[in-house]
Each structure stands twice: as C-alpha cells, then as structure tokens.
Structure 1
C-alpha cells in the first residue's frame, strides 16, 4: 500500500484548526470588541432610534492625535458631519481595552463611553440617556 498516508511525516497526526471559523471561540479580540459596541449601539437605538438615525457608529484601533499632544488618550470621539453624510461616533479599541481589567468592565466602559457621547450629542445628561449609566450593575 505504497502512497497511502494515514499520518503526517513526523507521526503527530493531522494539523489544522481545532474549531470551525464561525465558532465563537475562533473570534478575535477585535471582533469581540466590535460585537460589544454593536450590542450597545443596538440597545441605545431601541430607546433613541429617531434621534440617532443620522449617526454612524464605528470602531478604530487608536485615535489620531496631534504631535506634541500632552493630554490623556481619548477613548472615543464624536465627529460632526460638516458637509459629510452624518455625525460619527468613534470608539477607540486599544485605549478602551487598556483601561478595562476584564470582560465585564470592558462592557461597562463601552456602555458608559457611548452613553456619554450620545448625551453630549443630544445635549442631555448621561443619566437621562441611560438610567444605568455609571452603575456597577449591567
């Protein structure tokens, strides 16, 4: 039976991914972060859908800062739609992940950040945008 191989050359068995790419365990940190932001945007949209209809939400790795900038690294930013199609609210993944000590705190930080940006955009207090703002419970 020459030519039939049952194992690889070094006898360790077949190599390859252990889980299919669509399995949740295969998701990257960036994809999980995007999911957290999307869930929070969906939750805010359920309450403020009409007011947020012209707002585009997005995630960027890091903020663009001016050379010589000496302040704290921003976690998010609202960019007005001057001549553009819409207002954009950006969340910066790396600084947010650096400030969170775990998965639960990461979700809470994203929630509070987006609530603050939406409140600032609408001219409301964060507590009126989301009553759970700044609370330790999810």
Structure 2
C-alpha cells in the first residue's frame, strides 16, 4: 500500500529513470552495463511500494552509483530522493539542505500524528522561502 509521500518519490524515481533511459538511447554510456543497471533500477521501482524499508539500501546504492557512473546527470537527481533514501545519499547534500529536509520531516510527522493532510511539495516551497523579508 502506498501513501502520497511514497507516491511522490516513486514519481521522482520514474522521472529519473526516463533520464537514464535517454542517456542510453543517446549512446552516452556503455550499453551492456547500462542495461544491467536499468534492470536493477526497475527492481527497485517494482519492489519499493510493497517493501519500502527493505529496499532503502538498494535505493541508496543505486543513487550513489548514478553519481559515480553518470556524473553528467548528477545535477538532475531530485534532492528529495537523496533524503528519502538517506544513508550514503546524504553525503551528496550540504548541511543546510539536510536541515531543510529535517524540518520537512518534522512537519510531516506532526501532520501524521494529528491526522492532517501533508503536502510535501507545498511545505518544501514554504520552508525554502527567504525568512529575512527580502523579495525579488
């Protein structure tokens, strides 16, 4: 069973998969190893909804590999995925960004405790707004 939170991250994983697929189609990566990597990635997509906890390590491993195997797309990896999988993925995030995601999780858990709806994207946008009153 999925939740809006998990669905959000599954959608991001699907988007990242389309980027990885485009890399292969553009022949920017060795075909054989890329195909095997995509197979493992597809395993994650298939298994994550049913067994999220036991697939977090696989997600960490795959995202870390993307940084090393495909540095040309590192800037396209959604930051939400790094936080979602945690562990080694956090090494790719600066401290300020980690603090933002910690606040987001605190708000999410508070909303869950109070049986309230939580819109991850909207809350993230609110937290990212400047607090010094300056506007552009």
- TM-score > 0.5 by shorter chain: no
Q: TM-score, normalised by structure 1?
A: 0.29
Q: TM-score, normalised by structure 2?
A: 0.29
Larger Rg over CA atoms: 1
More strand by share: 1
More helix by share: 2
